[in-house]
């Protein structure tokens, strides 16, 4: 059972057909590019704004507060107001900083999420580019972000920033290993690096349900490593405000600061989308064995809602971590990675391969 009316590809196909039939080939391609670019920017901005708002609300509820509730209904426009304020502020450049690098860093920071966002699958047919090495592409490109952090810390000419960015460099590089290995488990299981095929492989059940132990371990490892890679609490050592005031972005103000701020949230979104796609079946509805009735109802809910539901659940989970746990120290952070996560992931991937060899997964 599958409802094809929720498939976005025919919709986009018709737009494409109309464009190619109305305009000559090169112009149509350019128009498509522009459309994609504009929607990517709009989507990123919207995403950043709504995630910041969500974080503030969620944090408030954890902390016995109400959260923003003045601007707009229940404060939904609060983040818009904040960003407007940040845009209007003077983008200060410290006199002793390395001007070129200093101004470059925020853009590098924003660049990675921009590129990655196009390669992620949001719903059936709702994906800019279904690369055949999609998973690889996403992990590779998203690690450009750490360059932004390193450069910002280096160029600010501020010792706090420098410590923060050095911490962050060590952290991101280490945690990428175990995140990558966790992803490998799924790649091994579904036998493909292409997002659409990974999702297709979960049509009869999400990997988290049919993958047994290796996938559960990989999921936990991925969530931990992903939280660490996005520099979020309890791994927010790069900006540890009680130690380093604001860490690598201490010297940034105005729109440049906003870039760092938004990039953090878009990165969070990317990690969560990856987790959803790899472990929770992306936009696939929940199917339970042969409960026909339940499966039919699940199919009626559009996939985009399944996707958003899973993503928000994971986002709240990660926010829950941030608002509960104390921060780790830098050496403990590395201990956790090199003594726990990495060995476990290594054993885990062997285990996964063994399970597949024996055909024990569903």
Partner 1 sequence: MEETIISPDGTQEYFINMGPQHPSTHGVLRLVLTLDGEIIEKVEPHLGYIHRSIEKMCEKDNYRQIIHLTDRMDYLSAHMNNHAVSLAIENALEVEIPDRAKYIRVIMDELTRISSHTLWWGVMGMDLGAITSFLYGFRDHEYITEIFEETCGARLTMNYNVPGGVMFDIHPNFVKHVKDFIADFKTKLPEYDTLLSGNVIFLERTKGIGILTKEDAISFGVTGPAGRASGFSNDVRKKEPYGIYDQLDFKEILYTDGDTYSRYKARIDEMWESIKIIEQLIDNIPEGDFQAKTRKVIKLPKGEFYQKVETARGELGVYIVSDGKMNPYRMKFRSPGFSNLSALDRMARGGKIADLVAIMSTLDLVVPDIDR
Partner 2 sequence: MSAIGNYFRSIFSGLKTLFQGMAVTGYYFRNARKEIITQQYPDNKDTLRMYDRFRGIVVMPHDENNLHACTGCSACEIACPNGSIEIIAPRVVDPETGKKKKVINQHIYHYSMCTLCNLCILSCPTEAIVMDQTFEHAVYDRSLLTQILNKPGSSLNPNVKE
- Among residues 11, 30, 332, 340, which is the contact residue for partner 1, using CB under 8 A? 332
324 binds partner 1 (CB under 8 A): yes
In the complex with partner 1, the residue whose CB is nearer, 200 or 241, is 241
Alpha carbon distance 170, 262 (integer Å): 22
Residue 331 contacts which entry, partner 1, partner 2, none (Cβ below 5-8 A, type-dependent): partner 1
Least distance in angstroms from the C-beta of 70 to partner 2: 10
**Distance (Å, whole) CA 225 – CA 169:** 14
* Span interacting with partner 1, options 180-188, 211-219, 263-271, 320-328, rule CB under 8 A: 320-328
* 236 contact, one of partner 2, partner 1, none, CB 5-8 Å limit per kind: partner 1
Identify the residue among 85, 203, 329, 339 touching partner 1 (CB under 8 A).
329
Interaction between residue 39 and partner 1 (CB under 8 A): no
Pick from 13, 17, 22, 63: which binds partner 1 (CB under 8 A)? 63
Segment 127-186, which members bind partner 1 (CB under 8 A)? 159-160, 163
Handedness of CA 262, 268, 274, 276 (dihedral sign): negative
The label of the residue with tokens 């901005």 reads 45
Answer yes or no whether residue 339 interacts with partner 1 by CB under 8 A.
Answer: no
Q: Interface with partner 1 includes 89 (CB under 8 A)? A: no
DSSP 280: S
Spatial separation of the C-alpha atoms in residues 81 and 91, rounded to whole Å? 17
Q: Residue 313 in contact with residue 175, Cβ under 8 Å?
A: no
Q: How far is the CB of 325 from partner 1 (least distance, A)?
A: 6
Q: Which does 203 bind (CB under 5 to 8 A by kind): partner 2, partner 1, none?
A: none
Report the alpha-carbon distance of residue 177 to residue 297 in Å, rounded: 40
Find the part of the chain contacting partner 1 (CB under 8 A) among 81-89, 113-121, 177-185, 240-248. 240-248
CA–chain centroid gap for 360, Å, is 31
**Smallest separation (angstroms) from partner 2 to the CB of 51:** 17
Tokens matching residue 305: 């809602």
Whole-number Å distance between alpha carbons of 196 and 121: 7
CA distances from 341 to 118, 222, 226, 337 (A): 29, 9, 12, 5
From the list partner 1, partner 2, none, partner contacted by residue 340 (C-beta under 5 to 8 A by kind)? partner 2
| Token pair of 314 as six digits | 């994971």
User: Which does residue 233 bind out of partner 1, partner 2, none, counting CB within 5 to 8 angstroms by kind?
Assistant: partner 1
Q: Which of 183, 208, 240, 342 binds partner 1 (CB under 8 A)?
A: 240
In this structure, the chain runs to a length of: 362
Q: Closer to partner 2 by CB, 62 or 294: give it.
A: 62
Please tell me the distance from the alpha carbon of residue 60 to that of residue 312, in angstroms, as a whole number: 17
Closest CA to 139 of 193, 189, 185, 188: 193
Q: Which is nearer to partner 2, 291 or 320 (CB)?
A: 320
CA-CA distance, 37 to 23, in Å (whole number)?
19
Cβ-based nearer residue to partner 2, 11 or 320: 320
Q: What is the DSSP letter of 17?
A: H
Binding site for partner 1 (CB under 8 A): 59, 62-65, 159-160, 163, 233-234, 236-237, 240-245, 323-332
């Amino acid at each position: 059972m599958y409802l094809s009316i929720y498939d976005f590809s025919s919709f986009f196909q018709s737009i494409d057909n109309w464009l190619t039939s109305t305009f000559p080939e090169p112009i149509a391609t350019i128009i498509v590019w522009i459309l994609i670019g504009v929607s990517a920017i709009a989507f990123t901005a919207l995403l950043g704004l709504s995630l910041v708002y969500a974080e503030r609300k969620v944090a408030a509820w954890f902390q016995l507060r109400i959260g923003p509730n003045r601007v707009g209904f229940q404060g939904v426009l609060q983040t818009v107001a904040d960003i407007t304020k940040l845009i209007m502020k003077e983008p200060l450049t410290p006199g002793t900083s390395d001007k070129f690098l200093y101004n470059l860093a925020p853009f590098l920071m924003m660049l990675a999420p921009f590129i990655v966002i196009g390669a992620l699958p949001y719903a059936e047919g709702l994906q800019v580019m279904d690369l055949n090495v999609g998973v690889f592409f996403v992990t590779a490109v998203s690690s450009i972000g750490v360059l932004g952090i390193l450069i910002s810390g280096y160029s600010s000419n501020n010792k706090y920033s420098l410590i923060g960015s050095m911490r962050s460099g060590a952290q991101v590089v280490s945690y990428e290993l175990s995140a990558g290995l966790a992803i490998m488990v799924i790649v091994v299981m579904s036998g493909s690096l292409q997002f659409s095929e990974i999702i297709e492989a979960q049509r009869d059940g999400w990997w988290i349900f049919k993958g047994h132990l290796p996938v559960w371990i990989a999921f936990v490892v991925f969530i931990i490593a992903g939280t660490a890679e996005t520099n979020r609490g309890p791994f927010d050592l790069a900006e540890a405000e009680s130690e380093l005031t604001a860490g690598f972005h201490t010297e940034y103000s105005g729109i440049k600061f906003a870039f760092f701020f938004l990039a953090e949230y878009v990165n969070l979104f990317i990690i969560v989308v990856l987790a959803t796609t790899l472990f929770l079946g992306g936009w696939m509805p929940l199917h339970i064995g042969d409960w026909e009735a339940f499966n039919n109802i699940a199919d009626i809910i559009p996939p985009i809602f399944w996707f958003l539901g899973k993503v928000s659940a994971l986002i709240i989970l990660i926010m829950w971590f941030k608002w509960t746990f104390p921060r780790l120290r830098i050496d403990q952070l590395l201990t956790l990675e090199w003594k726990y996560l990495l060995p476990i992931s290594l054993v885990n991937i062997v285990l996964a391969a063994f399970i597949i060899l024996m055909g024990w997964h569903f």
